[in-house]
């Protein structure tokens, strides 16, 4: 390889590196500023029994202790169509209470049998 070709090759690599380095750093900054993945999102707080909607719907964290007239034996959040918790979780989301989680073994008067 001639000295002129070697110098040209060196300059090409140096210019390319200088031009692309800011792009690479920009990509890193963008990654650092990106929102956390949903799995890292802060978990929803458990529904408080004092919540006005919870009270209105006679929400209980333990279906076995419910004495409500509309309670059906065996019903609980776990087998409610509005419960969105994963199997095995003790608390999970419910479409009636979007800002909270409800107890899997809980119950309320909005209970709807899972199809």
Q: Which residues bind ligand SF4 (CB under 6 A)?
A: 59, 77, 80, 82-83, 94, 96, 102, 106-108, 110-111
| 45 alpha carbon, distance to own chain's centre | 12
Nearest distance, CB of residue 107 and ligand SF4, angstroms: 5
Cβ distance to ligand SF4 smaller for residue 26 or 72: 72
Nearest distance, CB of residue 112 and ligand SF4, angstroms: 7
Please, are residues 97 and 83 in contact by the beta-carbon 8 Å criterion?
no
Structure tokens at 36: 């956390």
Nearest distance, CB of residue 40 and ligand SF4, angstroms: 25
Cβ distance to ligand SF4 smaller for residue 5 or 99: 99
Q: Is 4 exposed, middle or buried (0-12, 13-18, 19+ CB in 10 A)?
A: exposed
- Beta bridge mates, 94: 83, 97
Cβ distance to ligand SF4 smaller for residue 44 or 82: 82
Q: Is the dihedral angle over the CA atoms 7, 12, 15, 21 positive or is it negative? A: negative
Nearest distance, CB of residue 82 and ligand SF4, angstroms: 4
């Amino acid at each position: 390889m001639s000295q002129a070709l070697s110098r040209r090759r060196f300059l090409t690599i140096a210019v390319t590196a200088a031009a692309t380095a800011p792009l690479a750093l920009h990509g890193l900054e963008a990654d650092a500023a990106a929102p956390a993945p949903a799995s890292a999102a802060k978990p929803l707080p458990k529904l408080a029994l004092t919540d006005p909607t919870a009270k209105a719907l006679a929400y209980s964290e333990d279906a076995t202790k419910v004495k409500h007239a509309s309670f059906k034996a065996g019903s609980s959040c776990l087998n409610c169509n509005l419960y969105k918790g994963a199997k095995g979780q003790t608390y999970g989301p419910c479409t009636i209470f979007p800002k909270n989680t409800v107890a899997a073994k809980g119950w309320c008067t909005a209970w709807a049998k899972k199809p």
